[in-house]
């Protein structure tokens, strides 16, 4: 059985600067979704947040009930340096699969694609358990052929539908029209609502 990529694996990637997924700011599809949210009190989680640019944007926009979780400590320390006034409870250094709590919205940004594909069913179950009724997963999933080499690991709309449709209503899943240039045509923007 293939193991989860370890905490040390991710820590080493950050320490060496091997973070090709790191765009350096919030990506446009997620920014535009956040910009149309009106309820600033919703509880939001960003799993596998990395350097947390989406989280930083949420805090700037006064979504004060936002949280990040990551396995690696280095990116979380980077967030703390950029946003020094944060409540320390908003930054969680833990394994996502051991996380507790309930959220209204979970933002998916290069976390799903970083997991070994054999953990995808477990990911869906965990997302389901972390969301309040009618809670949503929004964000981006890659659409390129699934390979054994990764991360990132690819996938397709058909695979994602098969994985999520039992527990989630698929509100939207379409090729993102506003991806960054390097990811143009390779990202699906998703909104999945817990049934």
Report, as ranges of residue numbers, the positions in the chain whose pLDDT lies below 50: 1-3, 10, 14, 18-22
- Cite the DSSP H helix spans in the chain: 7-16, 28-35, 53-60, 73-82, 120-130, 157-164
Which residue, among 64, 48, 45, 50, has the nearest Cα to 102 in the 3D structure?
45
Q: What is the pTM of this model?
A: 0.87
Between CA 55 and CA 83 the distance in angstroms is 10
Residue 56 phi/psi, 5-degree rounding, is -60, -40
pLDDT digits (tens, 9 = 90+) for 49-86: 888 899 999 999 999 999 999 988 888 998 999 998 89
CB 86 within 8 A of CB 59: yes
């Amino acid at each position: 059985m293939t193991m989860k990529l370890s905490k040390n694996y991710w820590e080493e990637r950050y320490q060496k600067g091997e973070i090709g997924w790191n765009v350096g700011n919030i990506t446009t599809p997620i920014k535009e979704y956040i910009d149309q949210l009106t309820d600033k009190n919703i509880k939001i989680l960003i799993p596998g947040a990395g350097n947390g640019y989406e989280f930083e944007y949420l805090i700037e926009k006064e979504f004060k009930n936002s949280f990040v979780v990551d396995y690696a400590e280095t990116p979380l320390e980077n967030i703390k340096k950029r946003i020094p006034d944060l409540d320390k409870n908003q930054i969680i250094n833990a394994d996502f699969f051991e996380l507790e709590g309930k959220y209204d919205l979970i933002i998916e940004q290069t976390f799903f694609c970083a997991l070994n594909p054999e953990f995808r069913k477990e990911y869906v179950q965990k997302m389901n358990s972390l969301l309040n009724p009618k809670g949503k997963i929004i964000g981006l999933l890659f659409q390129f052929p699934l390979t054994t080499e990764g991360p990132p690991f690819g996938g397709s709309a058909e695979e994602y539908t098969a994985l999520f449709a039992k527990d989630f209503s698929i509100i939207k899943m379409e090729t993102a029209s506003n991806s960054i240039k390097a990811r143009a045509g390779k990202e699906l923007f998703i909104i999945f609502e817990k049934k």
